[in-house]
A and B are shown apart, each in its own frame.
Chain A
Amino acid sequence: MLTLTPVESAALLLSLRVAFVGTVCSLPLALAVAWLLARRRFVGQQLLNGVVHLPLVLPPVVVGFALLVLFGRHGPVGGWLYDVFGLTFAFNWKGAALAAAAMGFPLMTRAMRLSLETVDRRLEAAARTLGASRSRVFWTITLPLMSPGILTGAILGFARSMGEFGATITFVSNIPGETQTLPLALYAFTQVPGGDPPAFRLCVIAVIVAMAALFASEVMARRLDRSVRGAS
Chain B
Amino acid sequence: MSSPSRTRALMAELRRSLGEDDPMPPRIEPLRIPDPPIRVFPKPRPRSRYADEAAAHTTALVGIGRVGTRYATPVVLQFQAELAVAHAAVAAELPDGWADEHGLLPLRSRVGDHREFLLRPDLGRRLDADSLERLRSTATKGVDVQPILADGLSAVACMGSGLALLEHLTAECTQRGWTVGTPLCAKFARVWLEDEIGQEVGCKVAVILLGERPGLGTGDGLSAYMVHQPAIGKTDSDRNMISNIHARGITPPDAARRLALLAGSMLEQGTSGVSLDLSPLVAELGDAGGVGLREPQVREPLVFVGDDDGGPE
Whether chains A and B associate is no
| Interface residues of A, Cβ cutoff 8 Å to B | none
